[in-house]
Amino acid sequence: MDALALQREGEGWRIDLRGDWSLAALPGIDLELGALPAAMSGALVCDWSQVEHPGIAPVWALLTRLSELGSAPRLVVRHEGNPPHTVQLLQKLQLELCTSHGTRALAVPNHEGFVGKLGRWTVLQGTEAGHLLAFFGRIATVLGQSFSRPRVLRLASIARHVQETGVSAIPIVSLIAFLISVVVAYLGAQQLARFGATIFVVDLVTIAVLREMGVLLTAIIVAGRSGSAFAAEIGVMQLNEEIDALRAMGMNPIELLVVPRVLGLIIALPCLTVIADAMGLAGGGLLSLVQLHIPPAQFTIRMREALSSTTFWAGMVKAPVFALLIGMVGAYRGMQVRDSARELGRLTTMAVVQSIFLVILADAFFAILFEQISF
Amino acid sequence: MAARDPVAEPRDDDLVVRVAGLVNRFGSQVVHNGLSFEVRRNEIMGIVGGSGAGKSVLLHTILGLHEPQAGTVEVFGRNILELSPAERLAMSRACGVTFQSGALISSLSVAENIQLPLREAYSLNEDLLEDLVQLNLSLVGLAPDAAEKYPAQLSGGMVKRAALARALSLEPKLLFLDEPTSGLDPISATDFDALLLYLHGELKLTVVMITHDLDSLFRTCDRVSVIVDGRMVTDTLPGILENTNPWIREYFHGQRARGAQLAAAGEAVPRAAHG
């Protein structure tokens, strides 16, 4: 299996190269080259007469190793026994590489402490927030123009996005709202049974679904479905220079791509919320019937008593705000995609994570606000 | 051994690629209609044809990326439609390909792109991999500092060269190039032609090149194949210029073609004088 054998020859050295020298044999050859003695000087003869299938990379590895070994005391290498034609080429390339190596500057290691990193992060977050605000401003500008020029609203495009983000999301939103509300009602019933107050399951389900869960669940599902789709669609367009093309043709990508998506979502999300609310109440009603033997008629009466005039609207009013956040963050992250497929993945992930975070943050603000104004 | 290495024992020493009776249809659109095509060892074969004539489909078929409706495709004397998975892997390592837009992996640096096929095929240590990156970069005439750059930071000409470096990293005997000079300025395109001729001579490569660049065609190709009406017409350059098919006449004797021929002829004179 030896690919090379080193022996002394008079004052100098001789290497007999043998067997398979193709690229596939390179790992073994590399090991044997590494085992060559470090101190060699004088004349060296490489005999190629017993080599089969000489590849380029193994020859390169041999030449590189020999030039490393022979750097201090000069090693004079001679190739014998019909060396492969590539030897000459590779020797020339190596010489060029050695001369250009001197000009290669080493990067100065950059030590920045914790404070430096914190500062950098803060500045980055500050500019990010500024950019997002500017992005919102540009959307608002287009909406402002739409009062004088309704054509900028592009109804066909909005309708398409209502279809994609709303209508096609109905099955999954219904299913999840139904199941989660069954789970909540079930857990509530177990706890309330201890006080003999199982009828209050109806109050629990009604208020939880209408005020919070319906809209929040819908927003999170839509953020996962449509926020990611917005970021990916616009991101790929950015990679293909389609956005630049639109700009160059005098069209506003915000008006053409972003506003229809955001408006479509602002229309679709409240509608989905109504459906989620209905399905949630149905789920609670079904569990009450099966588990607690509360007939639907009684469930409805109890539900009406639990409802105040604002319960439904306290949930609904949040839907357009959540839609705006999801649509804006998705489109904004998509617009930021540059250069590579990895960026696209990173920013799509970021779009989903940030829109869900912002939705929950906004939900908390609404909770405090409604508490303050007793809505 | 023969099953593992299709290059080692070719059945027919002269023909590297042999396509016969190829039929490709997409719905009602017939792209190839009994197309036959042969590439000899150690030649540079140019493929031309109108847009939609099926040049890329032919390339994909030869590479085994597309299954034809009928016909045989042999590469290194083996039918690529009947390869076992192991043979297919060996075959794809024996053929290097560059795609039209480079198709460098955008999230990897040039060095990582070149190392990618090497890492998959062999277990090599990091120092050696770095050496091989330098080897492949200097083979295609890129500076060593290009290694750390990402595809998005490269110019069009550098992308084509980096893609070629990646295609060469597994030391293929057969190289497919899909429009290697498209989108390059004339200087870069001329440089690329020179590079191709240089590598073809030094590494004893067989090259199949799809191109619309007539300058490149006249300067580099030994033979030219033209796809007309789903069939292939193959001839040497002087032969194809004499061809009487109206489309081929239009292609090689149009306004643009005459300029390219003049340029190629003009270049030949000083070359002969010096040689």
Distance CA A315, CA A323 (A): 13
Task: Please give the ipTM for the structure prediction.
Answer: 0.74
Q: What is the C-alpha radius of gyration for chain B, rounded to an integer number of angstroms?
A: 19
Q: Which of A46, A75, A101 is the last residue of a domain?
A: A101
Regarding whether A308 and A203 lie in a shared domain, the answer is: yes
Q: What confidence category does residue A273 fall into, taking pLDDT thresholds of 50, 70 and 90?
A: very high
* A128 domain residue, yes or no: no
Regarding whether A292 and A168 lie in a shared domain, the answer is: yes
Tell me the chain A residues in contact with residue B175 when contact means C-beta distances shorter than 8 Å.
Answer: none
By Cβ distance, the residue of A24, A61, A342 closest to B131 is: A61
* A121 domain residue, yes or no: no
* B258 domain residue, yes or no: yes
* A59 domain residue, yes or no: yes
| In the block, residue with structure tokens 């240590």 | B125
User: Going by C-beta distance under 8 Å and a sequence separation of 6 or more, which residues neighbour residue A142?
Assistant: A152, A252, A254, A255, A259
CA B205-B210-B214 angle, 5° bins? 105
Q: Which of A78, A101, A124 is the last residue of a domain?
A: A101
- Residue A90, number of CB atoms within 10 A of its CB: 21
Give the pair of three-digit tokens for residue B45: 């074969």
Nearest chain A CA: its distance from B138 CA (Å): 6
Tell me the chain A residues in contact with residue B124 when contact means C-beta distances shorter than 8 Å.
Answer: 26-27, 30
- Give the domain CATH number at B94: 3.40.50.300
Residue range B92-114, pLDDT digits in tens: 888 888 988 888 888 889 999 99
Question: Exposed (0-12), middle (13-18) or buried (19+): which is A37, by Cβ within 10 Å?
Answer: exposed
- 8 Å CB contact of A86 and B202: yes
* B201 domain residue, yes or no: yes
Q: Which of A74, A101, A128 is the last residue of a domain?
A: A101
User: Going by C-beta distance under 8 Å and a sequence separation of 6 or more, which residues neighbour residue A146?
Assistant: A152, A153
* B256 domain residue, yes or no: yes
Regarding whether A345 and A298 lie in a shared domain, the answer is: yes
* A198 domain residue, yes or no: yes
Chain pair A-B, CB pairs under 8 angstroms: 64
Tell me the chain B residues in contact with residue A102 when contact means C-beta distances shorter than 8 Å.
Answer: none
Q: Can you give the residue range of the structural domain that contains B66?
A: 15-274
Q: Can you give the residue range of the structural domain that contains A235?
A: 138-372
Q: Are A302 and A202 in contact (CB under 8 A)?
A: yes
State how many domains chain A has.
2
Three-class SS of residue A107?
A: coil
Q: What is the residue-level pLDDT of chain B in tens, covering all 275 positions?
A: 334 444 444 444 678 999 999 999 888 888 898 899 999 988 999 999 888 888 888 998 998 888 899 999 999 888 888 888 888 888 888 888 898 888 888 888 999 999 988 888 888 888 888 888 988 898 888 888 888 999 888 888 889 889 999 998 888 889 999 988 888 888 888 888 988 998 888 888 899 999 888 888 888 998 999 998 888 888 888 888 888 888 888 888 877 777 777 777 666 544 433 43
Q: Are B209 and B174 in contact (CB under 8 A)?
A: no
- Give the domain CATH number at A15: 3.30.750.24
Give the pair of three-digit tokens for residue A313: 């609207």
* B3 domain residue, yes or no: no
Q: What is the DSSP track for B39-61?
A: EETT-EEEEEE-TTSSHHHHHHH
State how many domains chain B has.
1
Regarding whether A295 and A200 lie in a shared domain, the answer is: yes
Q: Please report how the helices B156-168 and B186-203 are oriented relative to each other, as an axis angle in degrees rounded to 10.
A: 10
* A133 domain residue, yes or no: no
Regarding whether A38 and A147 lie in a shared domain, the answer is: no
Long-range contacts, B8-16 (Cβ 8 Å, 24+): B8/A53, B10/B76, B10/B77, B11/B77, B11/B78, B12/B77, B13/B41, B14/B40, B14/B41, B15/B39, B15/B40, B15/B41, B15/B74, B15/B77, B16/B40, B16/B41, B16/B75, B16/B76, B16/B173, B16/B174, B16/B206
Regarding whether A155 and A95 lie in a shared domain, the answer is: no
Regarding whether A304 and A191 lie in a shared domain, the answer is: yes
Tell me the chain B residues in contact with residue A30 when contact means C-beta distances shorter than 8 Å.
Answer: 124-125, 128
Residue of B nearest to A22 (CA): B171
Regarding whether A160 and A22 lie in a shared domain, the answer is: no
Q: What confidence category does residue A104 fall into, taking pLDDT thresholds of 50, 70 and 90?
A: very low
* A132 domain residue, yes or no: no
* A320 domain residue, yes or no: yes
* A114 domain residue, yes or no: no
CA B207-B15-B77 angle, 5° bins? 110
Regarding whether A151 and A71 lie in a shared domain, the answer is: no
